[in-house]
Amino acid sequence: MEEFVRDYLTASVESEQDGGRMRWYPWHSAAYRFNHIRNVVELSAHIASEEGAGIDVTRVAALFHDIAKLEVDQDRHAEEGARIAREYLTSHEEYPSSFIDQVVRAVEEHSYQGPVADLPRETQCLVEADILDKVGANGVALVLLRMGYESRTHTDAPEMIERVLERGEEALDRVESQTARDIAHRRLKRARWFDEWLEDEIAAPS
């Protein structure tokens, strides 16, 4: 299943002459997107395990949640990912229809912007993991990558790290489970530590 998702993302990029939708952002490459998906699979499974949600449903939904990210518009990628997940699961092995329906629903609703408590437990775990993957050290790495792409100087780094901290605070406001909140606090602590270290070592602009 992982191989199918990885190959699908790669094909999404290779199928367009310009390198795929959003390929001009390095962090939206097939390699980055697949790494993000794997992070979300592990995070969501951990949250599901701690919170009593269905781990198998959560893991499979996480694996498919961004499969269409590189080939359709942002506001359609969840719907399209759900379609691909259903097509794959119904044509491979004999998964129970109830399992397939749960996976498809989670993929379809993972971009929901309302309270995550409104969602089924497995979908909530997926949404929380998706939010958390861009917080903390991973978020810092992403903004530093963006700095290079935008030809910024290293003196801009503190400002960029502030964006990660803001995202972390927003994550705390959105996640509901205690497991996800604990992860968010730990990741925010790391980002704050790095921000303080950076501020000590980078001279203020003249």
Measured between its terminal Cα atoms, the distance across the chain in Å is 54
The fold adopted by the segment(s) 1-113 is: Hypothetical protein af1432 (1.10.3210)
Complete DSSP assignment for 25-91 = SGGGSHHHHHHHHHHHHHHHHHHHHHHT--HHHHHHHHHHTTTTTTTS-GGGHHHHHHHHHHHHHHH
| Domain locations along the chain | 1-113, 134-206
Phi and psi angles of residue 105, each rounded to the nearest 5 degrees, phi first:
-65, -40
d(CA 123, CA 57): 9
What's residue 16's pLDDT?
59
Entry pTM: 0.88
Separation of CA 65 from chain center: 9
Q: pLDDT tens digits for the chain (206 residues)?
A: 999 999 999 998 876 555 444 444 656 788 889 999 999 999 999 999 999 999 999 999 999 999 999 888 888 999 999 999 999 999 988 899 999 999 999 999 999 999 999 999 999 999 999 999 988 888 888 877 777 777 777 777 777 788 888 888 988 899 999 999 999 999 999 888 888 888 788 766 55
**Interacting residues of 44 by C-beta distance below 8 A, sequence separation 6+:** 58, 59, 61, 62, 125, 126, 128, 129, 130
DSSP state of 20: S
Token pair of 139 as six digits: 């978020």
Find the farthest-apart pair of alpha carbons in the chain and give their distance in angstroms, rounded.
66
Q: What length is written for the chain?
A: 206
Q: Give me 181's structure tokens.
A: 């909140």
Residue 19 has a pLDDT of 46
Rounded CA Rg of the chain: 18
119: region left, alpha or beta (phi > 0 left; psi from -120 to 50 alpha): beta
Candidates 111, 167, 159, 171; CA nearest to 139 is: 167
One-letter identity of residue 202: I
The closest alpha carbon to 31, from 46, 18, 20, 47, belongs to: 20
